[in-house]
Amino acid sequence: MLCRMPVAPFKVLSRTGPERIDNEGTMKKTLLGTTALVTAGLLAGPALASDPLKVTVGGNVVTGFYFVDADNVGGTSFQDTKVALVARNIDIKAEGTLDNGLVAGVDAKLQLDNDWNGTGGSYASFRQLFAYLEGGFGKFEIGGTDGAAYKMHYTSPWFVPGNGVDSPNILNIVPYYGERHSTFSLLATDANKVSYFTPRLAGFQLGLSFTPDANNKGPNENGLVLAPKTDAYIRDVFEIAANYAGTFSGVDLGVDGFYTTGKSDSENVDPKEYGFGANLGYAGFTLGGAWYRSEDIWATFYPDSNNNENTTWTLGLKYATGPWTVGTAYLDGDQDWGGYYYRVKTLQVGGGYNLGSGVDLGLDIQFSNYKNNDNNQDYDSKSVGLVLAIAF
């Protein structure tokens, strides 16, 4: 499967996914445990001070061909077939062990544009770029990346290659208004921040993050100017998260909880997120779920004081044996916007087969429903697709 972050040696954490292959807005990651930090950098032999960091280059691409049956919205009908091309990532990493035992590195996530016709000008840009130091004290990260609440979160498992119901890369649904399809903290995702993760002690780990400007979604600042403070976005975002990973009598257990809060100059706006997740793994089965709540946030990170609240939860079951993986998962998201309710639900069924060398073939079946009490809309969409995911 696709991986982004190193994880603790815990079977349930086989993937740190919704592989933040976000497709211009959707999220990433399923089992996001965290980094094993207790002895990192202390067991390997020290390199010479003059030795350069070792550079590795990889990436991933997720593609899919779908047949879609979706309701019309007024006079608008939707395509009955779809080719999805997501992920489009080139990952560049430089890391080395210093002569004092510390591990230092840089992690860069290059995202390729999807405008192949060049009408908007094809390009590639760094979605994430950050530096880190780790050792027996834990791990420090600084730069454009996800925060502690995101990286330490557990949720429903992904079983279709490169896609899941929580923070999907491919979601075949009638366009909806403002609902989120994720239990992850997205308030400051990819923004420039500083984070600290403690060593994992007796299975427990704590993470903290601070983001001065949540509007800066990527490593774009040149350090020469100060960003203006406005009421349109959220700043001074603080995240605290904790999780536990352990094994008892052959049963793998992972649980987490997080709290995120920020500031806005808008009157009566107090944006915050909080939630928890859990995974149980036994004999090839993984049962996972999560619950999320936000206040004064519209969609992912826009501040809104109109009694705006979102509640999202998910539950899923996966079974893996040899190269085969099968499963089912459900997600339910409910947005309350000053007495108006918007709800989106998705059930996913499917599986995958590993062909070897990072090549996975899968079947993805989705059933989605969107409704609101604003203008009594109620739309369904159903789809089935063949997915090909390649990591290199």
Q: Tell me the three state secondary structure of residue 291.
A: strand
**Burial tier of 139 (Cβ tally within 10 Å: 0-12, 13-18, 19+):** buried
pLDDT band at 62 (very low <50, low <70, confident <90, very high): very high
- Tell me which residue has tokens 């989605």: 368
279-319: pLDDT as tens digits = 999 999 999 999 999 988 766 556 666 667 889 999 999 99
Domain count, the chain: 1
Q: Where are the alpha helices (DSSP H) in the chain?
A: 148-151
User: Would residue 3 count as lying in a domain?
Assistant: no
74-117: pLDDT as tens digits = 777 777 889 998 878 899 999 999 999 999 999 999 987 765 55
Q: What is the mean pLDDT of residues 48-69?
A: 87
Residue scoring higher pLDDT (163 or 28): 163
User: Would residue 119 count as lying in a domain?
Assistant: yes
Residue scoring higher pLDDT (232 or 57): 57
Mean pLDDT of the chain, nearest integer:
81
Task: Please state, in angstroms and as integers, the Cα–Cα distance from residue 296 to each residue in 214, 235, 268, 273, following that order.
Answer: 15, 14, 9, 9
Phi and psi torsions of 278, nearest 5°: -155, 150
pLDDT value of residue 39: 34
User: Would residue 221 count as lying in a domain?
Assistant: yes
Residue 32 has pLDDT above 50, yes or no: no
Note the pTM of the prediction, 2 decimals: 0.83
Tokens standing for residue 165: 């119901």
User: Would residue 202 count as lying in a domain?
Assistant: yes
SS3 assignment for 195-259: EEECCCECCEEEEEEEEEECCCCCCCCCCCCCCCCCCCCCEEEEEEEEEEEEEECCEEEEEEEEE
What are the beta bridge partners of residue 217? Answer: none
Residue 248 has pLDDT above 90, yes or no: yes
CA angle 352, 355, 358 (to 5 degrees): 90
Closest CA to 134 of 196, 225, 63, 176: 196
51-65, 245-259, 288-302, 354-368: segment of lowest average pLDDT: 288-302
What domain range includes position 78? 11-391
User: Would residue 5 count as lying in a domain?
Assistant: no
What are the beta bridge partners of residue 371? Answer: 343, 378
pLDDT band at 5 (very low <50, low <70, confident <90, very high): very low
pLDDT value of residue 183: 95
Find all residues with CB under 8 Å of 365, minimum gap 6, and list them. 348, 349, 350, 383, 384, 385
User: Would residue 2 count as lying in a domain?
Assistant: no
Question: b/e per residue, 256-270, with b = 16+ CB within 10 A?
Answer: bbbebbbbbebeebe
User: Would residue 331 count as lying in a domain?
Assistant: yes
pLDDT value of residue 298: 67
User: Would residue 6 count as lying in a domain?
Assistant: no
CATH label of the domain that carries residue 73: 2.40.160.10
